[in-house]
Amino acid sequence: MNIFLESLKKSITHLEIIDKVFSSYDYPEKEVFNKLKEEIQEHDSINPTNKFTEELYVGGKKRNTSLNQGYGRQMILSDLLQYIVNGRGYFYAIRNTTTMKNYIRILLKIVNLLMIFDSIVVETNVRREILTNLESELGNDFFKDDDRRREHEALLLHDAPIGLPLANPDVSEDVLIKLGTTNKDKALKLLSTYYDSLLPKTAGGLWGELLVYLYLLRKNIGFVFPLVLNQRLLSGNHKIYLKPPDFLLLPFGKNTFYGIEVGAGKEIQSGTFSIITGVPTATKANMDNPKRCCICGKWMLFCPKVIEEYSDVDYEIENIKRPIKCTSGCNKFTREQILNKECSYAMHKGGQPQNHVMKMRVGTYHFHFNCYKDDPHGDQNISENNIVSYYPYVGGLEDLEDLTVDQAVVKQKIEELNTLLTSLNQTSSEED
């Protein structure tokens, strides 16, 4: 991910140099230029609690209250990464078949990186290092207010997992005193809210959107319109705006858009958009994979075999829901390597481990195979048939997929569109 951030920094540096030269070099409009800059800064500061600049960085997270007074650093960080993927990345994807496959491959590996980011729910030393470095680098800008600073100091003291349904939740006395409460549940909630502001939309927020996007591209059932960077559609009245779904899909052979909302709990939002626009938005997309290991509390990453096959849009996956049997179906690791824990990706489906950081209820859970094998109970109950991996799969789109025309018609439509769009895009490029 660092290579994309470095390129983004170069663009910012480029603009900063232009701004610096126009601000300092002598030329006829210099005074007007600097006056405009001062006025923009004054406009930004008219209401200190609601600054335009704080839509680009803000120190923490506060749940939305009346009059749109909430804020969330995690949303800003997420949008910046979405800009890289959806604001510019599509130009790369459409260059040729190879770049489309590589686009999907890169995004899946970014998803893996984001899941590793979220490991600081249990990796307390890494979490403390991130907190310390962010405060050192950003100073007071890292905190919107004193409440966020206090939560930050409390999280530095908290030497235990957070942000999970924990098997044995606990909070030290020092943390309770720092937060000014004796209620451990309240303290954990405050810590979890602050933790959530450190990373781009955790617990599947950002990478959940990316996986839905990739799933729609992989299915190749129509044109995908990402709206994740346009979550408010404005009118000229600040009170009159729409909250669109995360994606719009225009299936091949259809002339009707369908809205796709990632996750649940947005029925009113989706219903309002549908009533106003006439676009059906009943579809809810929920990721069935990846899964989180209850033993260690970390997400289980997509393995190299899955990434290679899923990113190859010409490769037909017969049943995308069916688990891959690792010891017999993997072409990256041998059976012996997997059983000897040389693969960090393999999962074990089912089982009752003795030790687990997460709360477990009745049901079938998945674990890192290596975690399960290291567990006293798990090591005695390993089934080779249950050592599995999964392709990214999105539930909730079954009805939408049924709306598409049959594959022969889809293929014909794609060929017709390819001929038409190639001609139109060539003309457009010549005009540019």
- The DSSP line for 157-173 is H--S--SS-BSS----H
For residue 305, the Cα-to-chain-centroid distance in whole angstroms is 22
Given this model, what pLDDT does residue 281 score? 81
**Is 293 inside a domain boundary?**
no
CA atoms 319, 325, 330, 333: torsion sign? positive
β-pairing verdict for 71-72 and 222-226: unpaired
Phi, psi for 331 (deg, rounded to 5): -110, 10
β-pairing verdict for 283-287 and 258-262: parallel
Of 194, 220, 246, the residue at which a domain comes to its end is 220
Determine contact, residues 258/400, Cβ cutoff 8 Å.
Answer: yes
**Is 145 inside a domain boundary?**
yes
Q: Are residues 274 and 143 in the same domain?
A: no
Residue whose tokens read 């009113």:
268
**Is 426 inside a domain boundary?**
yes
Q: Are residues 318 and 383 in the same domain?
A: yes
**Is 63 inside a domain boundary?**
no
347-349, strands of its sheet edge to edge: 324-325, 387-389, 347-349, 366-368
Q: How many Cα neighbours within 13 Å face the side chain of 84?
A: 21
Given this model, what pLDDT does residue 148 score? 96
Q: Are residues 96 and 214 in the same domain?
A: yes
Mean per-residue pLDDT pooled into runs of 10, the chain (432 residues): 94 97 97 97 89 95 74 95 94 94 97 96 97 97 96 97 93 97 96 96 89 92 92 89 92 87 77 87 77 96 97 92 95 96 97 95 93 94 96 82 61 69 60 48
Q: What is the maximum alpha-carbon separation in the chain?
A: 81
As a dihedral over the C-alpha atoms of residue 4, residue 345, residue 191, residue 170, rounded to 10 degrees, the angle is -160
Given this model, what pLDDT does residue 174 score? 97
Domain that holds residue 125: 74-79+91-220
Given this model, what pLDDT does residue 431 score? 46
Measured distance CA(232)–CA(228) in Å, rounded: 10
Q: Are residues 98 and 198 in the same domain?
A: yes
Angle at 173 between CA 171 and CA 177, to 5 degrees: 110
Given this model, what pLDDT does residue 417 score? 66
Q: Are residues 425 and 412 in the same domain?
A: yes
- In total, how many domains does the chain have? 4
Q: Are residues 212 and 161 in the same domain?
A: yes
Question: What is the Cα Rg of the chain in Å?
Answer: 25
Q: Are residues 280 and 149 in the same domain?
A: no
Residue 261: closest CA among 287, 296, 297? 287
Q: Are residues 276 and 402 in the same domain?
A: yes
Q: Residues of 40-70 as b/e, b for ≥16 C-beta within 10 angstroms?
A: eeeeeeeeeeeeeebeeebbbbbeeeeeeee
Measured distance CA(303)–CA(109) in Å, rounded: 10
- For residue 318, how many other CB atoms are within 10 A of its CB? 5
Q: Are residues 108 and 157 in the same domain?
A: yes
Q: Are residues 101 and 214 in the same domain?
A: yes
Length in residues, the chain: 432
Of 165, 185, 220, the residue at which a domain comes to its end is 220
Given this model, what pLDDT does residue 269 score? 76
Determine contact, residues 289/345, Cβ cutoff 8 Å.
Answer: no
Angle at 144 between CA 158 and CA 177, to 5 degrees: 30
Determine contact, residues 149/143, Cβ cutoff 8 Å.
Answer: yes
Measured distance CA(144)–CA(62) in Å, rounded: 9
Q: Are residues 142 and 120 in the same domain?
A: yes
- For residue 158, how many other CB atoms are within 10 A of its CB? 24
Given this model, what pLDDT does residue 24 score? 97
Given this model, what pLDDT does residue 391 score? 96
**Is 294 inside a domain boundary?**
no
Q: Are residues 210 and 197 in the same domain?
A: yes
**Is 51 inside a domain boundary?**
no
**SS3 category, 285:** strand
Cβ-based neighbours of 105, under 8 Å, separated by 6 or more? 307, 308, 311
**Is 49 inside a domain boundary?**
no
**Is 299 inside a domain boundary?**
no
